[in-house]
Amino acid sequence: MATDTSAAQPAGADAPILQVEEEFAGARRVLRSWEAKLFAVLCVTFTLFHLYVLNIYSLEPLLFRAIHVGWGAALGFMLSAPFRGVGRQGVPWYDWVFVLLSIGCAVYVAVELDGLLFRAGAQFTPGDVTCGVIGTFLILELARRTTGWALPVISGIFILYCFVGPWMPGVLAHKGFAIDRFFTYIYSEYGVFGVTTQVSSSYIILFVTFGAFLTVSKAGDYINDACNALFGWARGGPAKAAVASGVLFGAISGSAVANVVASGMVTIPMMRKVGYDRSTAAAIEATSSTGGQITPPVLGAGAFLMAEITGIPYADIALAAVIPALLFYVACWIHVDLHAIRLGLRGLSRAELPPIGAIAARIYLLSPVFVMIWALMEGYSPFRAGGLGILAALVCGWMARVFSDFDASGAVSISNASPMAAVGGALLRVFVLAALGAGLGAAAFYGADLVGRNNTVYLTIAIVTVPALLFGWRRTLEALETAARDSIQLVAVCACAGIIVGVVALTGVGGRFSELILAVAGANHLLAMLAAAMVALILGMGMPTTAAYAIAAAVIAPGLAKIGVPVLVAHMFIFYFAVISSITPPVALASFAAAGLAQADPWKTSWTALKLGLATFLVPFMFYFSPVLLFKGTWPEIVQATLTGAIGVWFLAGATEGWFGGKLAMPLRFVLGGAALCLLHPGSISDLAGLAVGVPIYVWQRTRNRTDTPAPITV
C-alpha cells in the first residue's frame, strides 16, 4: 500500500529529504477542494460497498468485479496524474472523461449482465466489443500510472502475441484471433474479471482495510516504538529494531515499499546515528521490509491469489510460510549482529528510546493481529478473520482514547509510567478489551437467535456501529478512505494481470512453456527450477509482487506441476522469487525506495540488500528438495530441518560478512560457505557434513581472535 511521506520527518542531519510518493507510480495530483471532498466520499463508499458485499449481501460475481474495477479505476484517474509535472493540480478534463468511461464500462456490464453471461465465450455484440476495447485500454493506462511502464508493456506484448501468432516460430505459433473476439474474451470473467480480480475484490480489499484501521489506531507507531524499546539498546540496536519491525509490519502491509516508507522514516536515521553508513542502513530496512511479504499471518497480496488458484486454504499457506520466514529473519538478524561486531557499533542509550512502561501499557494495540491469527487458526474464513480484526482495531482505537494513551497531537501521554504501573495499566486494558469483545460476541450470538436469520443484516450493522462510534467517526472515515486509496494500485495490478492470464488461456502459451520446462527438466530438474526462479525474478523487476506472481503462476507453475513438483511447493517457490525481486538488482524497487530515504547510492544499496537476503534465495530450493520446511513431514524432521537451516544461515552470514568468531580469512569464507550449503540442503548426512566443517572453524576463530574486537565507531 502506498504511503504519503509528506508529513513531518525525523529531525537531524540525516533526516531524509526525498519524498517517496508512490510505490511505482509517476505522481499523485493535488485535488481542488470540491474534488477532494468528492474523492473522499467515493473512497469511503467504495470500502463500505466491499465490506457489505463480502460480509452481508452477495452480488453476482461478474457484476461485483466489474463494479470493483470500474470504481477503482475512477478513483485512480482522479488521484493519479499521467506524468510527473503534468496535470498535477486538479483533475483535468481528459481524466474526467476517463472517470466517466470507467464508470460507464461497469454500468454496461450491469445493464447487459444476463446477456453477457449467456453469450460468454461464444457470441458478442458491437456493444460488447466497444466496452471491451475501452475497458482494456483504461486498465492498461491505470496500470501505467500506478505501477510504471513494466506491467502494461508486458501486457501489451502478450496482447500483440494474440494477433501475430501465425507468424511466430516453433512452439510459440498459434492460429491468431480476430480483434472483436479477443477483446470480448479478455474483458470478461476469463480475463480481466477472472481469478486475479476475484482476489483483489475480496481478500485483498478486506486485508488492506484491516491494515488501514491498524494504522489509524496507532498500531503502526506502536510497532516501531516497541521494537526500538526492546532492541534499540543492543549491539547495532536500531538495525535489529528495523529487522523486528519488518516482521510485525507484515501484518499491516503486504507491500515491501510501503513497509520501507512506513518504518524507514524512523529506523534509517536511528541507524545512521549509531554509525551505519547510508547504504547499509537503507539495505537493512529494504531487506527486512521485503520479508514482511512472506511473513504470516498476512503475507503479500499474492498469497491470497495463490490460495484462489491452488484451492489450498489460506491458513495452510500461512502455516507453510512460517519456517521459511523464520529462516529469512534469522539470516537478517545475524547479518546485522555480525556487521555491528565487525565495525564495533553500539546501541542507543535508554534515554533515547521509548520507555518500557509506556510500551507495556499499550500492548493491547497488537490484539487485532492476535484476533486475526486466532480466527485463521480456528478455521474461520479469511473474510471473517479480517472482519474480526477490523472490529478489534476499532475497539483498540477507542481504548487508546479512553485511557489517554495518546494526546491530541498523537504523542504518548503515559511515557513516564513506572514499570509496575504500566503492567497494571496493561492488565486493565486487556481486561476491558476482553470484556467488550465478549459483549459484542454475545450480542451477535444471542441477537441472531432473537431477531431471526432474516434480520441479521441489521444486527451486524448495529454491532459494527457501536465500536465505530466509540472509535470516533472522523477516524473511522479516515481509515475507510485510506483503505480505498491503498487499494487503487492493487485494483490496477490485478486487472492488468488478468489480461495476461486471459491471453495465456486463450493462446495456450502456458502449455508451450510447460513443454520447454519439461525439455529442460529432462536433462536436470535443478536446471528447470533455476530457470523458473530466473523467470520469476525477471518478471518481478519493475512491477508489483502480485502481478509478477500472477504471470509466473500462469506461465511457469503448470510446467513445474508436470515435472512432479507438488502444487504448494511450486507456487511457494514462484511466490518467494517474485517477492525478493524487490531487492534484486538491477531493478530493486524496495532498495531504491530505502536509498531515497537514506540519500544513499541505490546501486550499492541494492547489492548490500542482496547480500543480507542471500539466504532467501536458497530457501525456496530447500523446500523444493524437502517440503519438510513447509510443515510437510513429521515433527522430528521439521525440528531438525529448522535447526540445521538456522545454523546454515548463520554460517552463510558469517561467510558473506567475513566475521565468524573473529575476522575470517578469504579461503575460510569459501569453506564456511560450503558448510552452510550442506546444512541448507535438508538431509542428515549433509547436515553432519556441514557441522563437521563449520563447528571447528568457529572454535578455531574464537580461540585465535579472543582479543580481536574492533573499537566502537563514533559518528
Mean pLDDT over each residue of the chain, to the nearest integer: 78
* pLDDT above 50 (res 21): no
Return d(Cα 355, Cα 363) in angstroms, integer. 13
List the grid coordinates of 553: 503462476
**pLDDT tens for residues 310-335?**
888 887 888 888 888 888 888 888 88
C-beta separation of 357 from 419 below 8 A:
yes
Burial of 49 (0-12, 13-18, 19+ CB in 10 A): middle
List the grid coordinates of 441: 460476541
Range among 93-97, 279-283, 441-445, 656-660 rated most confident: 93-97
Concatenated DSSP letters of 287-330:
HHHHHGGGSSSS--HHHHHHHHHH---HHHHHHHTHHHHHHHHH
Strands 80-81, 27-28: pairing is: antiparallel
Beta bridge partners of 89: 30
**pLDDT tens for residues 449-498?**
544 444 455 555 555 665 666 667 788 888 889 889 988 888 888 898 88
Return d(Cα 163, Cα 183) in angstroms, integer. 12
Type of residue at 22: E
What count of other Cβ atoms lies within 10 Å of the Cβ of residue 201? 28
In terms of DSSP H, where are the helices of 346-418? Answer: 356-361, 367-377, 382-402
* pLDDT above 50 (res 405): yes
Region label for 379, one of left (φ > 0), alpha (ψ between -120 and 50) or beta (otherwise) = left
Q: List, in order, residues 6 or more apart from 166 with CB less than 8 Å away.
A: 173, 174, 175, 176
Q: List, in order, residues 6 or more apart from 700 with CB less than 8 Å away.
A: none
What's the pLDDT score for residue 14? 39
**In terms of pLDDT, which residue wins out, 446 or 13?**
446
The single-letter DSSP state of residue 699 is H
What angle (nearest 5°) sits at the alpha carbon of residue 650, between those of residues 534 and 674?
A: 65
**pLDDT tens for residues 503-518?**
888 887 766 666 666 6
Q: List, in order, residues 6 or more apart from 377 with CB less than 8 Å away.
A: 315
What's the pLDDT score for residue 136? 94
Return d(Cα 458, Cα 440) in angstroms, integer. 14
**pLDDT tens for residues 595-638?**
877 878 877 888 888 888 777 788 888 888 888 888 887 888 88
The domain ranges of the chain are 27-151
**pLDDT tens for residues 217-274?**
777 677 778 888 888 788 888 888 888 877 776 655 556 676 776 677 778 888 888 7
Type of residue at 564: G
Return d(Cα 337, Cα 65) in angstroms, integer. 48
C-beta separation of 249 from 359 below 8 A:
no
Return d(Cα 271, Cα 238) in angstroms, integer. 5
Region label for 345, one of left (φ > 0), alpha (ψ between -120 and 50) or beta (otherwise) = beta
List the grid coordinates of 487: 487499494
C-beta separation of 395 from 437 below 8 A:
yes
What count of other Cβ atoms lies within 10 Å of the Cβ of residue 428? 14
What is the CA 53 to chain-centroid distance, rounded?
Answer: 24
Q: List, in order, residues 6 or more apart from 132 with CB less than 8 Å away.
A: 183, 184, 186, 187, 188
C-beta separation of 372 from 340 below 8 A:
no
Q: Is the pTM of this model over 0.85?
A: no
Rg for the chain (alpha carbons), in Å?
Answer: 26
User: The cell 506484448 sits on which residue?
Assistant: 157
**pLDDT tens for residues 584-599?**
876 677 787 788 778 7
Burial of 699 (0-12, 13-18, 19+ CB in 10 A): exposed
Three-state DSSP state, 461: helix
List the grid coordinates of 205: 480489499
**pLDDT tens for residues 161-173?**
888 888 887 767 7
C-beta separation of 476 from 403 below 8 A:
no
Going by pLDDT thresholds of 50, 70 and 90, the confidence category of residue 657 is: confident
Return d(Cα 25, Cα 81) in angstroms, integer. 9
Type of residue at 353: L
